[in-house]
Amino acid sequence: MAGGHHIAAWRHPDAHANAGGDIRHFIALAQMAEAAKFDMVFIEDAAAIRERNPDIASQAARSTSFEPLSLLAALAVNTTHIGLVATASTTYNEPYGLARTFASLDQLSGGRAGWNLVTSASELEAENFVSSGLRPHHQRYERAQEFAEAAVAVWDSVDDGAYVIDGERGIYADPSKLYPVDHNGAHFTVTGILDSQRSPQGRPLMVQAGASDAGKDLAAKTADVVFSAAQTIGEAQAFYADLKARLPKFGRHADQLKIMPGVSPIVGSTESEARAKYKALQELIPDEVGVALLASYLSIKDLSKHSLDGPLPEMPQTDGIQSRQQLIIDLGRRDNLSIRELARHFAGARGHWQLIGTPGQIVDELEERFLGKAADGFNVMPPLFPTGRDDFVTLVVPELRRRGLFRTEYEGRTLRENLGIKIPARAA
């Protein structure tokens, strides 16, 4: 999120309120993350404004953002090692065009690009692209499965060393290393060859975040990295074990997929200082913004007709983000939260794990999940830019290194090398 992961971050006196429209902000963010030796910068996206109601949109800094692939191209020429990952939807794109764009980003960055494959669960996005509304959940995942297969075929249509470029012999390309795509499916027909050299990392990294059964199967078959959301270590361990157990049926082993739950850390030199920072952010959330955000993730039109001081009502089955809806319901019931309390809690990290404390306390929690088979790493979501990022880099990262839990130098130049994920063999 441009200004920080907390919904009210832009209102904080330390915030860069116009972060979403400032390329210098993103360059500085990426360069600082690279100096700290982070694996990647991840840009989330939705192809629509986030709030339908203009009164709500006017109070939330989610109305301005750069198209993520354009943004990552700019970051590619201002960084040298850090991975560059962006969200792009299989619902509102075509395989050849999207595969070509990510292949170009991979070449521009020297093998540092990654694609976060999403199926798009927002009615607002659907209204920008199709007249028939949001496709049912199962149809979106059927299309996504085929989309991923076609995109991989496009990337694999060019083998290593295909472009000889020998002027004396008059040979530009070796035809034995070019493989026309032959994909004819229910949703797509693709027959061309990628007009690019093969990626320095074999293919752009594939990232997924689905947590439904269909989403986990798609991830187990196609993903290199999975972003997830879990409130408790038990939930995180259960997700981790489930997803890793699905890999063998697709001919894969556990080290080929890295699971990175989201964490939103608020760091203080003392626990009371950290809690004061959290309280200051929470007090900036208007009830109507928090409740509207909660309703959007629950995929229902309106929660305001219910008493905000009463419990969450029974939720109907949704064609939206089913796993996130269930996470919210479970959180509200487990902690006996009213709609108002649940909305304010959710607005801080959108269902992701919030950590509040000293550097030592935060590393204790991260270490427990990392060593306890609940995570292979973490998707760090500072609540506020730039101070939340600075606090994590200057206070938490040194403690991680002191315990031998985090690198001091990059292992390689490509994103796959730094994640310890081997270059995939070209699909037959």
Residues sharing a CB contact under 8 Å with residue 208, sequence separation 6 or more, in sequence order: 116, 117, 215, 218, 219, 222, 223, 225, 226, 227
**What number of CA atoms fall less than 13 Å from residue 206's CA on the CB side?**
26
pLDDT for position 338: 86
- Residue 27's SS3 state is helix
pLDDT for position 285: 87
Which stretch of DSSP H or E encloses residue 239?
helix 233-246
Higher pLDDT, 333 or 262: 262
Is residue 108 predicted with pLDDT exceeding 80? yes
Which stretch of DSSP H or E encloses residue 276?
helix 271-282
**Which of the residue ranges 4-8, 14-18, 133-137 would you say has the lowest mean pLDDT?**
133-137
Going by pLDDT thresholds of 50, 70 and 90, the confidence category of residue 333 is: confident
pLDDT for position 306: 81
Cα–Cα distance measured from residue 84 to residue 25, given in angstroms and rounded to the nearest whole number: 16
Going by pLDDT thresholds of 50, 70 and 90, the confidence category of residue 133 is: low
Q: Tell me the mean pLDDT in the region 74-82.
A: 98
User: In the numeric block, which tokens belong to residue 276?
Assistant: 């004061």
pLDDT for position 112: 98
pLDDT for position 324: 67
Q: Is residue 15 part of a domain?
A: yes
Angle at 377 between CA 373 and CA 383, to 5 degrees: 120
Q: DSSP readout, 308-366?
A: TTSBPPPPPP-SS-HHHHHHHHHHHHHTT-BHHHHHHHHHHHTTSEEEEE-HHHHHHHH
Q: Tell me the mean pLDDT in the region 65-93.
A: 94
Is residue 206 predicted with pLDDT exceeding 70? yes
Q: How far is CA 190 from the centre of its chain?
A: 27
Is residue 287 predicted with pLDDT exceeding 90? no
Q: Is residue 345 part of a domain?
A: yes
Residue 400 to residues 75, 107, 109, 131, 403, Cα–Cα distance (Å): 26, 32, 28, 50, 5
Residue 229 to residues 38, 43, 301, Cα–Cα distance (Å): 20, 17, 23
Q: Tell me the mean pLDDT in the region 131-152.
A: 83
Is residue 413 predicted with pLDDT exceeding 70? yes
Q: Is residue 377 part of a domain?
A: yes
Higher pLDDT, 90 or 139: 90
Q: Which residues of 41-55 are buried (b: 16+ CB within 10 A; e: fewer)?
A: bbbbbbbbebbeeee
Q: Is residue 136 part of a domain?
A: yes
Q: Is residue 424 part of a domain?
A: no
pLDDT for position 35: 98
What's the domain count of the chain? 1
pLDDT for position 246: 97
Q: Mean pLDDT in the chain?
A: 89
Is residue 320 predicted with pLDDT exceeding 60? no
Cα–Cα distance measured from residue 336 to residue 349, given in angstroms and rounded to the nearest whole number: 19
pLDDT for position 395: 97
Tens-digit pLDDT profile for residues 160-193: 999 999 999 999 999 999 999 999 999 999 999 9
Q: Is residue 3 part of a domain?
A: no
Is residue 153 predicted with pLDDT exceeding 70? yes
Angle at 413 between CA 411 and CA 414, to 5 degrees: 105
Q: Is residue 222 part of a domain?
A: yes
Q: Tell me the mean pLDDT in the region 71-97.
A: 95
Q: Is residue 2 part of a domain?
A: no
Q: Tell me the mean pLDDT in the region 232-258.
A: 95
Residue 354 to residues 180, 239, 337, Cα–Cα distance (Å): 47, 18, 16
| Residue carrying structure tokens 């290194």 | 401
**Which of the residue ranges 182-196, 277-291, 395-409 would you say has the lowest mean pLDDT?**
277-291
User: In the numeric block, which tokens belong to residue 409?
Assistant: 């130098």
Q: Tell me the mean pLDDT in the region 12-21.
A: 90
Angle at 127 between CA 123 and CA 133, to 5 degrees: 65
pTM: 0.89
Is residue 38 predicted with pLDDT exceeding 60? yes
Q: Which range of residues forms the domain containing residue 374?
A: 9-419
Higher pLDDT, 124 or 392: 392
Residue 204 maps to which CATH number? 3.20.20.30
